[in-house]
Amino acid sequence: MQSKDARFDGWFFTAVLTTGIYCRPSCPANTPKRDNMRFFASAAAAQQAGFRACKRCRPDASPGSPQWNERADLVARAMRFIADGVADREGVTGLAARLGYSVRQVERQLQAELGAGPLALARAQRAQTARLLIETTDLPMGDIAFAAGFSTIRTFNDTVLEVFALPPTELRNRATGTEHPGVSALGTLCLRLPFRLPMFPDNLFGHLAATAVPGVEEWRDGCYRRSLRLAHGPAVVSLRPAPEHVACALALTDLRDLSMAISRCRRLLDLDADPVAVADLLQGDEALAPLVAKAPGRRIPRTADGAEFAIRAVLGQQVSTAAARTHGGRLAERLGEQIADSGGGLTRLFPDPAVIAAADLDAVLAMPRARKHAVSALAGAIAGGEVDLAAGADWQLARTRLALVPGLGPWTIEVIALRGLGDPDAFPATDLGVRSGAKTLGLPDSAAALLRRAEPWRPWRGYAVQYLWATSQHAINHLPAA
């Protein structure tokens, strides 16, 4: 905190007894005396202890802790589910059922590590969503209250006042500089998604653009755009890289999906990563060190929907990137729900797994019969609950269940783990791009030998994959022309 190191924003929060305020570690205010400080592992714990958010550093808007995307234990899985809105939509009972533990055990584990239970953590997220809507829209406060997930307007008013030390109307006045903001219907919300520096956007946005499914995703005017299937309706998101944030424009059907949409965009772009920790480890390898020094901050291009990516991974087996896009586009055109996109050329949602499982794929896809059977079997397993690829899914259990689906081999499973589940240590050693990159760097290119060589890269083997892929001139490594 004394060094104002922004790398640790989101890792912990500091509270000052004399002012009753909590801050992020990089807050520019003068550092208080140590005896007057308290430290918390979550904003929810600071709020629960009676501290309010600093108006200067806005700790509620800091990047999330990278631990929740690195770890696979109960607490990390719970935090991923809470970020995805499960606690708000299904309650603590639904959250516990998804995790496979009792409500008491979930509450005990979260309280022990974070100093706050699932309800307090969800409340902190609702407060952050409310602040975003208050400051970036001119919607009526009643609409904002229910959109942010509050059950009553009184609860909304009390929470905003308690967390931010300002009533909702004054919070809006500070942001707009006007006493009487207008009222308008829901349009496009423009937000900034923070991340930890450094960040190298070329492979991240280049990969998403190069593999974009026609009608579902596109690169337009320097932005990656895609449709999203959310809890209360479809949405369209536009993401543009900037030096210190990602500009995000969201067109939602229902405002209640805002926090879920933000969580999925952050997950898609791996924005909660800790690039310094990754670089510190990978630079210790003489083969990878020059690549890391040349382009620090590579992220893993992940997904907004694990089920969608898994099906796309099967479609992409043993074919080129262009062929995989064609197969995905045909599937979306024939089976995906139509959407309206006034800002571009998006026309469809990627089909729901249940729809794919029930469809006659012979009439949709021009590919070997065995692969069509694999697509159908995987979609059926996801729709039936045998395979869970949600944000807080158990990574190892998902691998075990995927291995039982006919037609899914080690390459497909590890690619799904890497980009669909978000396991930062996933390593598709049989991938042609990985093996080619290894050969270019003078590393062993056989799968077994490469796995042994990659052991020192744990737990960041997924980021090493990005550097191995970067040795080629493939389109995934370059931002498209404007």
Q: What is the DSSP letter of 286?
A: T
Tell me, yes or no, whether 172 and 294 share the same domain: no
Tell me, yes or no, whether 166 and 197 share the same domain: no
Question: CB burial class (10 A; 0-12, 13-18, 19+) of residue 266?
Answer: buried
* Helical packing angle, 103-114 and 86-99, nearest 10°: 110
Residue-number span of the structural domain to which 227 is assigned: 190-477
Q: What is the DSSP letter of 249?
A: E
Tell me, yes or no, whether 178 and 194 share the same domain: no
Domain boundary residue among 147, 162, 183?
183
Q: What are residue 272's DSSP bridge partners? A: none
pLDDT band at 229 (very low <50, low <70, confident <90, very high): very high
Residues designated catalytic: 23, 431
Tell me, yes or no, whether 117 and 10 share the same domain: yes
Q: What is the pLDDT of residue 343?
A: 87
Residue 482 lies in a domain: no
Kindly report the average pLDDT of the chain as a whole number. Answer: 93
Tell me, yes or no, whether 129 and 196 share the same domain: no
- Kind plus residue range of the DSSP H or E element containing 252: strand 245-252
Contacts for 130 with CB less than 8 Å, ≥ 6 apart: 144, 145, 148, 150, 156, 159, 160, 168
Count of domains observed in the chain: 2
Domain boundary residue among 148, 183, 218?
183
**Does a cis peptide bond (omega within 30 degrees of 0) precede residue 198?**
yes
pLDDT band at 1 (very low <50, low <70, confident <90, very high): confident
Q: What are residue 240's DSSP bridge partners? A: 247
**The pair of three-digit structure tokens given for residue 48, joined into one six-digit string:** 């629960």
Tell me, yes or no, whether 123 and 18 share the same domain: yes
pLDDT band at 64 (very low <50, low <70, confident <90, very high): confident
Is the per-residue pLDDT at 178 higher than 80?
no
Domain boundary residue among 183, 209, 238?
183
Rg of the chain (C-alpha set): 23
Question: CB burial class (10 A; 0-12, 13-18, 19+) of residue 187?
Answer: middle
**The pair of three-digit structure tokens given for residue 313, joined into one six-digit string:** 């991974």
Are 220 and 345 contacting, i.e. CB atoms less than 8 angstroms apart?
A: yes
Tell me, yes or no, whether 205 and 234 share the same domain: yes
The phi-psi region of residue 132 (left if phi > 0; otherwise alpha if psi is between -120 and 50; otherwise beta) is alpha
What is the average pLDDT across 206-235?
97
Tell me, yes or no, whether 109 and 124 share the same domain: yes
pLDDT tens, residue by residue, 327-338: 999 999 999 999
Q: What is the pLDDT of residue 184?
A: 38
What is the average pLDDT across 364-369?
93
Tell me, yes or no, whether 457 and 393 share the same domain: yes
Q: What are residue 188's DSSP bridge partners? A: 251
Tell me, yes or no, whether 203 and 160 share the same domain: no
Tell me, yes or no, whether 196 and 221 share the same domain: yes
CATH code, 118: 1.10.10.60
Residue 276 lies in a domain: yes
CATH code, 363: 1.10.340.30
Q: What is the pLDDT of residue 181?
A: 39
Tell me, yes or no, whether 130 and 230 share the same domain: no
Residue 231 lies in a domain: yes
**The pair of three-digit structure tokens given for residue 275, joined into one six-digit string:** 């690039």
- Kind plus residue range of the DSSP H or E element containing 373: helix 369-383
- Kind plus residue range of the DSSP H or E element containing 465: helix 461-469
| Residue 403 to residue 392: CA distance in whole angstroms | 19
